Amino acid sequence: MAYQYALVVYHTEQVENMDINPLIQARGVTVSYNRRRGEEPLVALAGVDLDVAAGEFVAIVGPSGCGKTTFLNVVAGLVRPAAGSVTVAGREVTGPGPDRAMVFQDYALMPWRTVEANVRFGLEFQRHGLSRSEVDARIAEAIELVSLRGFERSFPYELSGGMRQRVGIARALVGRPQILLADEPLGAVDAMTREAMQGELERIIAASGLTTILITHSIDEALSLADRLVLVSHRPGTVREILDVTLPRPRFDYDIKAHPDYAPLREHVWELLKGEALGAKEVRA
């Protein structure tokens, strides 16, 4: 299809650093948040190391409050680590950039803007050198990619949760980033839509060659999408284990959960996660 072709061309010509391996490298990332005066700072992440290769899909799974969002914000350049660093294509992250796009759990759409105008927002800070017709073509391509053609003039309130998140994904893709950072993107959509959207996410990411970090609460979602699964301990978050998910692709053409390797993999992850979730409760109590 034409739009897939366009995305593939873009990724091979624009990303000259593609062969720098790993594309994303986190070393000793430690983040603490200041609290009220007299209170100890809260250590959200402690010494996180992670390498992500170009084109790889990594899922991060861990108990609530373990610092997953914090880690993604560090990669996005929105939070500076107290110690350690993240590099992208060999360069240290010091702020946000068009090479990295985010998708948020709550969609973060502007309710007064149409679908088309929300997607356009993704280009508003980096339109340099693009003619008006190129901008329009990119927007149309992104809308097509998330299967929202025909809804360009709709407002967010007229859309279902799944459709709203498609807008969020299109807004992220329209700037043609190298890296997609998705923070529980399907956490707020209903279970049936969620499964369908997982399949779409797999298709979109395969078509665009994006390097992806996905945060999810769902072991099934992680196993259905990721090349590798990173298990994070309860707070302060550290990397507990990294697992290769070698299940065949595409995983949504048939029910991957029926694959003989699936259940043992899932059980292993659940055993580890269960321990971490219980650990987190003890800390809170």
Instruction: Provide the binding-site residues for ligand ADP, judged by CB under 6 A.
Output: 33, 42, 44, 62, 64-70, 235
What SS3 state is found at 47?
strand
Q: In what order do the strands lie in the sheet with 42-52?
A: 42-52, 24-33, 83-88, 91-92
Q: How far is the CB of 60 from Mg ion (least distance, A)?
A: 10
Q: How far is the CB of 72 from ligand ADP (least distance, A)?
A: 8
Q: By C-beta, is 60 or 115 nearer to Mg ion?
A: 60
Q: How far is the CB of 16 from Mg ion (least distance, A)?
A: 33
Binding test (CB under 5 A) with Mg ion, winner from 24, 31, 57, 69: 69
Q: By C-beta, is 203 or 240 nearer to ligand ADP?
A: 240
Closest CA to 164 of 225, 98, 212, 110: 110
User: Is 70 near Mg ion (CB under 5 A)?
Assistant: no
Q: By C-beta, is 68 or 228 nearer to ligand ADP?
A: 68
> How does DSSP classify residue 233?
P
The CA distance from 197 to 170, in Å, is 13
Q: How far is the CB of 78 from ligand ADP (least distance, A)?
A: 10
Cis, peptide link before residue 63, omega less than 30° from 0: no
The CA distance from 42 to 66, in Å, is 11
Contacts of 152 (CB under 8 A, 6+ apart): 114, 115, 116, 143
Q: How far is the CB of 69 from Mg ion (least distance, A)?
A: 3
The option from Mg ion, ligand ADP, none interacting with 42 (CB < 5 to 8 A, set by class) reads ligand ADP
Q: By C-beta, is 204 or 231 nearer to ligand ADP?
A: 231
Q: By C-beta, is 30 or 69 nearer to ligand ADP?
A: 69
The option from ligand ADP, Mg ion, none interacting with 66 (CB < 5 to 8 A, set by class) reads ligand ADP
The site for Mg ion, by CB under 5 A, has a size of 2
Residue 83 vs residues 22, 32, 39, 47: alpha-carbon distances, Å: 20, 9, 20, 8
Are residues 205 and 259 in contact, defined by beta-carbon separation less than 8 angstroms?
Answer: no
The CA distance from 180 to 205, in Å, is 9
Q: By C-beta, is 73 or 208 nearer to ligand ADP?
A: 73
Q: Which chain residues interact with Mg ion by CB under 5 A?
A: 68-69
